[in-house]
Each structure stands twice: as structure tokens, then as C-alpha cells.
Copies of this chain bind each other. A is one copy, B any other.
Amino acid sequence: MTLQSAIRVNPIRRTDLAGWSPAAVRQAIRARDWTGTTHGAARGRLQANLVVLPQRYAFDFLRFCLRNPRPCPVIDVTDPGSAEPTRAAPGADLRTDLSSYRIYRNGELVAEVPDLKDVWTADHVGFLLGCSLSFDEALDNAGIPMAHLRDTTSRVATYRSSIPCIPAGPFAGPMVVTMRPVPTAMVVRAVEVTSRYPLAHGSPVHIGDPTQIGITDLSRPEFVKFDGISEGQTPVFWGCGVTPQAVAMAARIPEMFTHSAGHMFVTDLALDGTPMR
């Protein structure tokens, strides 16, 4: 029995995906054998946010990302019309290799779709941007517990901060940030560990008092949910990959496609962005 027929006979469980190669995960997604989120899949490989824009916005958007590397670390950019991320995953197809996509028009979410085959045209450019899923694993391995990696009801609270992004063309707005409660004695370790993964948002943008970055009530995140913070923990904030989507929505770009929350693109790259053969 081949791996493929095994997949069809026995439904894939999330725990199976951890040891799979990125190409095998993408193939299972392309075949619709796996339609869930990619959390925990192909462990040790960099996962990415997807943003797809019409070509006329591509140079402005790329400058925006390069000017704001903490929230928008650039992993790969396709040639106009091509859906192949040649650096991050040669041979992959950004139209089919994520398990769920969102379609925005004029800044409004209009549909959630299983692939982009019918909407991707020769005018589109795909951007793969780092996501923090990748460094959560590194933090957890370093002894800084990431509850959401184990508890499926746990989430990473996400806020609109007052930190301004450096604008480029129509793209402008505040940085969206994630908050992880870190045992106060481990804060330095958290900076050390995440600073090694600039493609997964890198070092924190703020440590401690949330009001200094415009967050008045930690218990009321703008996105996702707040799981609390204990005595002896310090709130640590990192740039978030929701930022580029938020600025593109605010700019009311006529058309944008993205991944659905948690349905990331699994690259062939190591967590630090180096190719693995």
C-alpha cells in the first residue's frame, strides 16, 4: 500500500503531520486529504502568511514590507502571474497548496475558498511573509511554555498597537502585535531565542507596560482572545503578520487574497530561512 492510498483509507490525524516533509504536507492539502490548519505540520520548517495582490500594488507593498521587517518579514515574492515560490518551495503552487483562502475586495472579506484556481490571473503577485507559528516552537523548546501549542482552546492575543508602520505608497497604518505571557525570569531568553528568527518576526517590539504602545486593556484584544496573564509573568509583544493584511484592507485595495487564519503555507525552509535539501 502506498502512502497516498494509506492517506485515503485512513484519515490523516494532526499528529501524523508533524513528521511529514513540507512537500508531503502540501501534496495532502492539494489533494484535499488535509483541510485543517497547519499548526504542528512539518515541524522545524518555516511556515508563512500569504498575501496576493494585483501587480500594480506589488512594488509599493514590497517596499512596505521591507521597511517594516518585524511585522512583515519577506520570505519570498513570485514573478507576476506565477504561483510558484521559487525560493521557499520550488515546484509548489500558491493557488492550491494552502488549505483555505480568503478573498477581499475593496478592503472587505467577501469569501473563504478552498483554492485560488479560478481567481488567480497573470496580473497577480504572491508574497510569503513570516509567521510566528515558527518561533513559538523555538520558544517552547527553550523552556518558555507556549500553551497554545498544547491546548487547542488556547490562543495568542493580538492587538492593534500605537506603533506606526513606515508607509509606502497606499500602505500605511499601525503595527498589529501579538502578546505572549513570559515568566519574568525568562524574558531575556525569549529575546535571545526569537532574535535568531528574523523571518518569523524576530525580536519583540516591546516588553512590559502595554499602555506604552497604546494598548489600554490587555484583557480586550482586537483579534483572537485573551487567556490571562499570571503574577510572575511579563507581557512580551511581537510584530504580527496580520499587519500587512490590515494595512491592505485599510487602503481598500480592490483585490487581495490571503490564507485563512491558521491555514499557512508550509515552506521547504528551515526556521531561520535557510534552504534544506
CB distance from A62 to the nearest CB of B (A): 6
Q: Which residues of chain A (162-205) have a CB below 8 Å from chain B?
A: 166, 168-169
User: Chain B residues with Cβ under 8 A from A87's Cβ?
Assistant: 67, 166
User: Chain B residues with Cβ under 8 A from A58's Cβ?
Assistant: 59
Query: Please, what's the 1-or-0 string for A202-230, where 1 marks a CB less than 8 Å from any CB in chain B?
Result: 00000000000000000000000000000
User: Chain B residues with Cβ under 8 A from A79's Cβ?
Assistant: 63, 168-169
CA distance A169 to B87 in the complex (A): 15
Does chain B have a CB within 8 A of A157? no
Q: Which residues of chain A (137-175) have a CB below 8 Å from chain B?
A: 166, 168-169
Does chain B have a CB within 8 A of A41? no
One of B59, B67, B80, B166 near A62 (C-beta < 8 A): B59
One of B55, B59, B77, B166 near A66 (C-beta < 8 A): B77
* Chain B minimum-CB-distance residue to A56: B59
Does chain B have a CB within 8 A of A86? yes
Which of A66, A67, A166, A168 neighbours the largest number of chain B CB atoms within 10 Å of its CB?
A: A66
Which of A59, A74, A86, A87 neighbours the largest number of chain B CB atoms within 10 Å of its CB?
A: A59
User: Chain B residues with Cβ under 8 A from A59's Cβ?
Assistant: 55, 58-59, 62, 80
Query: Please, what's the 1-or-0 string for A50-86, where 1 marks a CB less than 8 Å from any CB in chain B?
Result: 0000010011001100110000001001011000001
Query: Please, what's the 1-or-0 string for A19-60, where 1 marks a CB less than 8 Å from any CB in chain B?
Result: 000000000000000000000000000000000000100110
Interface secondary structure of A, over-half rule: mixed
CA distance A86 to B67 in the complex (A): 9
User: Chain B residues with Cβ under 8 A from A168's Cβ?
Assistant: 79
One of B77, B86, B166 near A86 (C-beta < 8 A): B166
User: Chain B residues with Cβ under 8 A from A66's Cβ?
Assistant: 74, 77
User: Chain B residues with Cβ under 8 A from A55's Cβ?
Assistant: 59
User: Chain B residues with Cβ under 8 A from A86's Cβ?
Assistant: 67, 166
* Chain B minimum-CB-distance residue to A68: B87
CA distance A80 to B58 in the complex (A): 13
User: Chain B residues with Cβ under 8 A from A74's Cβ?
Assistant: 66
CB distance from A80 to the nearest CB of B (A): 8
CB distance from A277 to the nearest CB of B (A): 16
CA distance A74 to B59 in the complex (A): 14
CB pairs A–B below 8 angstroms (17 shown): A55-B59, A58-B59, A59-B59, A59-B62, A59-B80, A62-B62, A62-B63, A63-B77, A63-B79, A66-B74, A66-B77, A67-B86, A67-B87, A79-B168, A79-B169, A86-B166, A87-B166
